[in-house]
């Protein structure tokens, strides 16, 4: 990025060397005097390249090469993936010693700048201390606070930080509890507190006035500064970063100002706080911050006073919290001056709002103030679960949702039987468990399950034995139908003798035909076994295993299917546990290619890649709406066991299959929704079947 301040300083030096006044320079350069005054004050908002060129020519300076060098540097901007590094800081403090407190704030800010922090938040009234009491009326303290605010601004001018600090400020004969927002040597805005607690240990109504309804401009030092609560600070180098501010009690009320701030566009809310400790308050405070970030679909940075405040009546713990859309990214230990940092994903926040915020009206009266940060995502202070769909807390819930969904369909259709194909694989095992659970809810015996195993050319002894043993153990009515003869006859009928996709799909469709016909014979429902990962990749045969009368696994990805089977095993009697664990340990395969001396010739993950990668890609693409490059970037951090080339290879395959196989999802049967990602065209995922994939697959692939 071009450093305009550096160029203006060079121009100032040359002007002084030549003994020119501003009037003389205005005449020589042809720039209006008023505009020139703004330029000389280094107001980057006013500077244009044509101004630099005119001033350079007027003074005989050769700035062309310098501009080229600066432009070259701007082409080397650090990578940006939507992550904004924020810090919630409670440095050491001396009550009523504004100089000492400013020293610590400046020291902390300079340290944070080295750590590539973009937004730094300090506690409520941190320049004076929150617990000054009636000293807040003293002109000495109030003047010192303003002087130190200006010094903080000046001494952090060379950082990339947006800094928020707290101080008392007298405006139009009213004293306000304020947050001051600073960036690159400039006071951007002053935000006063809206709700003043005057109950129990708090008596702010004694000292402060509540924030005015409308914004206006005030003068601090030699700067004109926006004053009010309806203020948005918008990063000119990162348009998704829009910051708003509220103070302590503001978030404890029924309708916090941040509700409107975020509806107006703020993606990160800062809260300067002085929240003292009492029994149980720690968890309540954390839950409140977390839930406010969820309700507002925002990042929420909360910073509270620390143990150096006066303990005459209360104790403060420096409980600092950083949350993002309902998740606490980081929080501090209590009773320690600290710096708590995290990277908030503002791109994800915007992605989510694009989907969910259309109904929210935009509030009136907001002013936007520009600032300049430089997000550097070379290193991301963030980790992601390699199995985003797998959460042990949800296992019982998923099993119950499956069972209740199937029970409702069973009762509605008045079906006598549930018909399910069992292969000895993970998906059919989980479907069989769901059938058993649904019948139990309906007060019916598991013998109402017709479990059909249909071995053919690629069926191994291991999977066949497991399918038979599992069906018998579950008390299902078992049918074994070898389909090899009928498939051969079909292939002969269509005069096909190759080992290819026709051979594979013929088996899948033969099995589906049997399931459908048996269901007709016994007034049954064919229960689909295919999972979410297979639907995403189109790893299913159209009008084969893609089709059923009701699907119980359609919202459950492969990684979660395996985890659920293992979970049921861990809670089951030893014989059943042994069967389930062996099924979980069996390589995933459709078992469609003929065996070679009894050995499996087809392993799904050797062909289409690891399911744990595909499930990760699926979650980040359909749930987070991340770009292809961002998915690749975080996958490389999340899966160090794979090389970046391997990850990119499977990511390209994921997009190719996901996009080209949409037609299979467009005609999928009804099924149970259990999670945040669903590919049914009837509920969540609506995508044409003929989308061009160019934007999602690298040119090299």
What span, in angstroms and rounded, lies between the C-alpha atoms of 33 and 27?
Answer: 8
Separation of alpha carbons 144 and 150, rounded Å: 10
**Alpha-carbon separation of residue 10 from 6, 13, 29, 185 (angstroms):** 6, 5, 16, 19
486 to each of 50, 456, 651, how far by Cα in Å?
81, 10, 38
Counting DSSP H helices and E strands in the chain, the numbers are 23, 20
- State whether residue 596 is helix, strand or coil: strand
Laid out side by side, the sheet with 550-551 consists of 477-480, 449-453, 417-421, 524-528, 550-551
Please report which residue ranges of 484-531 form alpha helices under DSSP H: 484-493, 501-521
Q: What is the pLDDT of residue 506?
A: 96
424 burial via Cβ count (<10 Å: 0-12, 13-18, 19+): buried
Is the backbone of residue 494 left (phi > 0), alpha (psi -120 to 50) or beta?
A: alpha
Q: How far apart (Å, rounded) are the C-alpha atoms in residues 186 and 201?
A: 36
Q: For the segment 261-291, what is each residue's pLDDT rounded down to a tens digit?
A: 999 999 999 999 998 988 889 899 999 999 9
- Whole-number Å distance between alpha carbons of 242 and 346: 9
Does the structure show a pLDDT above 90 at 345?
yes
Beta-bridge partner residues of 393:
none
Q: What is the pLDDT of residue 68?
A: 54
Q: What is the pLDDT of residues 137-176, one digit of tens each?
A: 999 999 999 999 999 999 999 999 999 999 999 999 999 9
Q: Of all residues in the chain, what percent carry a pLDDT higher than 90?
A: 77
How do residues 608-650 score in pLDDT, each as one tens digit?
999 999 999 999 999 999 999 999 999 999 999 999 999 999 9
Residue 31 — pLDDT band, cuts 50, 70, 90? confident
User: Higher model confidence: residue 265 or residue 50?
Assistant: 265
Cα angle 123-383-621, degrees, rounded to a multiple of 5: 115
Least confident stretch, 12-16, 330-334, 448-452, 580-584: 12-16
Supply the DSSP string of 249-268, one letter for each residue: GGGTSSS-HHHHHHHTT-SE
Alpha-carbon radius of gyration of the chain = 33
* CA 128 to chain centroid: 36
Q: Which residue has the higher pLDDT, 483 or 676?
A: 483
Sign, CA torsion 162/168/169/175 = positive
Among the listed ranges 264-268, 358-362, 375-379, 644-648, which one has the minimum average pLDDT value? 358-362
Q: Which two tokens stand for residue 384?
A: 């992601």
Q: Where are the alpha helices (DSSP H) in 414-531?
A: 426-441, 461-474, 484-493, 501-521
Q: Is the dihedral of CA 131, 136, 138, 142 positive or negative?
A: positive
pLDDT recorded at residue 1 = 46
> What pLDDT, in 10s, does the model give residues 320-333?
999 999 999 999 99
Is the confidence at residue 481, as pLDDT, over 60? Answer: yes
DSSP label at 421?
A: E
| pLDDT, position 289 | 97
Do the beta carbons of residue 388 and residue 615 sit within 8 Å? yes
Look at 404-408, 411-415, 419-423, 693-697 and tell me which has the smallest mean pLDDT: 693-697
What are the tens digits of pLDDT across the range 503-515? 999 999 999 999 9
Supply the residues annotated as catalytic. 124, 193, 248
Asked if residue 447 has pLDDT above 70, the reply is yes
Q: What pLDDT score was predicted for residue 49? A: 66
Strand partners, 217: 226
* pLDDT score of 296: 96
Q: Who has greater pLDDT, 17 or 531? A: 531
Average pLDDT over every residue of 8-15: 79
Start-end of H helices in 555-598? 558-570, 574-585
- What's the pLDDT band for 446 if we cut at 50, 70, 90? very high
- DSSP codes of every residue in 17-63: HTT--HHHHHHHHT--HHHHHHHHTT-TTT--HHHHHHHHHHHT---
The confidence score (pLDDT) of residue 487 equals 96
Give 269's strand partners.
Answer: 244, 300
> What is the per-residue pLDDT for 473?
96
Asked if residue 467 has pLDDT above 60, the reply is: yes
Distance CA 419, CA 434 (A): 12
Most confident segment among 48-62, 86-100, 272-286, 583-597: 86-100
Q: Which of 670, 559, 566 is nearest to 619 (CA)?
A: 559
Spatial distance between the Cα atoms of 585 and 424, rounded to a whole number of angstroms: 11
Is the CB of residue 558 less than 8 Å from the CB of residue 615? yes
Mean pLDDT score across all residues of the chain: 92
pLDDT score of 54: 78
Beta bridge partners of 244: 269
For position 37, what pLDDT does the model report? 78
pTM for this entry: 0.85
């Amino acid at each position: 990025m071009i450093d305009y301040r550096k160029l203006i300083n060079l121009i100032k030096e040359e002007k002084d060397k030549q003994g020119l006044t501003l009037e003389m320079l205005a005449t020589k350069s042809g720039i209006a005097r008023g505009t020139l005054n703004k330029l000389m004050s280094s107001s980057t908002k006013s500077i244009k390249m044509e101004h630099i060129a005119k001033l350079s020519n007027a003074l005989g300076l050769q700035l062309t090469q310098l501009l080229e060098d600066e432009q070259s540097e701007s082409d080397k901007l650090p990578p940006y993936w939507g992550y904004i590094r924020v810090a919630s800081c409670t440095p050491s403090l001396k009550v009523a010693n504004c100089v000492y407190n400013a020293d610590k704030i400046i020291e902390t800010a300079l340290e944070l700048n080295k750590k590539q922090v973009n937004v730094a938040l300090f506690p409520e009234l941190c320049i004076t201390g929150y617990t000054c009491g009636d000293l807040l009326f003293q002109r000495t303290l109030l003047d010192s606070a303003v002087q130190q605010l200006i010094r903080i601004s000046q001494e952090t001018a060379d950082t990339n930080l947006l800094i928020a600090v707290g101080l008392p400020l007298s405006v139009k004969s009213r004293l306000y509890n304020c947050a001051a927002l600073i960036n690159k040597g400039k006071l951007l805005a002053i935000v006063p507190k809206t709700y003043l607690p005057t109950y129990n240990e708090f008596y702010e109504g004694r000292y402060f006035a509540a924030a005015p309804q409308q914004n206006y401009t005030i003068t601090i030092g030699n700067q004109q500064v926006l004053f009010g609560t309806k203020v948005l600070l918008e990063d000119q180098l990162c348009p998704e970063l829009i910051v708003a501010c509220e103070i302590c009690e503001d978030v404890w009320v029924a309708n916090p100002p941040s509700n409107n701030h975020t509806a107006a566009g703020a993606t990160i809310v800062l809260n300067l706080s002085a929240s003292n400790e009492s029994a149980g308050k720690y968890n309540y405070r954390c839950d409140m911050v977390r839930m406010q970030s969820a309700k507002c679909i925002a990042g929420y940075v909360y910073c509270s006073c620390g143990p150096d405040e006066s303990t005459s009546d209360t104790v403060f713990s420096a409980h600092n919290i950083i949350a993002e859309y309902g998740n606490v990214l980081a929080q501090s230990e209590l009773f320690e001056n600290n710096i708590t940092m995290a990277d908030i994903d503002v791109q994800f926040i915007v992605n989510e709002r694009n989907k969910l915020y259309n109904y929210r009206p935009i509030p009136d009266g907001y002013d936007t103030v520009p600032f300049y940060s430089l997000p550097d995502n070379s290193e991301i202070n963030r980790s992601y679960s390699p199995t985003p769909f797998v959460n042990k807390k949800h296992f019982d819930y998923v099993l119950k949702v499956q069972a209740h969904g199937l029970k409702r369909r069973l009762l509605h259709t008045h079906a006598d039987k549930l018909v399910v194909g069992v292969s000895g694989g993970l998906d059919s095992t989980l479907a069989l468990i769901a059938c058993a659970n649904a019948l139990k809810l309906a007060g019916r015996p598991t013998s109402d399950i017709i479990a059909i195993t249909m071995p053919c050319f690629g069926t191994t002894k291991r999977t066949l034995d497991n399918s038979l043993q599992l069906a018998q153990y579950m008390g299902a009515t078992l049918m074994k139908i070898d389909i090899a003869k009928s498939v051969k006859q079909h292939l002969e009928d269509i005069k096909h003798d190759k080992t290819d996709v026709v051979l594979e799909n013929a088996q899948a469709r033969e099995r589906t035909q049997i399931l459908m016909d048996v269901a007709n014979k016994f007034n049954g429902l064919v229960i689909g076994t295919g999972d979410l990962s297979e639907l995403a990749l189109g790893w299913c045969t159209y009008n084969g295993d893609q089709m059923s009368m009701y699907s119980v696994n359609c919202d459950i990805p492969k990684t979660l299917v395996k985890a659920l089977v293992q979970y049921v095993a861990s809670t089951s009697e030893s014989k059943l546990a042994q069967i389930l664990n062996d099924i979980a340990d069996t390589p995933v395969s459709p078992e469609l290619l003929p065996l070679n001396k009894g050995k499996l010739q087809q392993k799904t993950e050797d062909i289409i890649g690891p399911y744990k990668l595909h499930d990760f890609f699926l979650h980040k693409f359909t749930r987070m709406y991340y770009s292809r490059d961002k998915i690749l970037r975080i996958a490389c951090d999340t899966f160090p066991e794979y090389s970046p080339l391997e990850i990119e290879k499977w990511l390209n395959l994921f997009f190719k299959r996901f996009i080209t196989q949409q037609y299979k999802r467009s005609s999928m049967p009804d099924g149970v929704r259990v999670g945040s990602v669903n590919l049914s065209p009837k509920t969540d995922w609506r995508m044409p079947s003929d989308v061009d994939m160019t934007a999602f697959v690298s040119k090299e692939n």
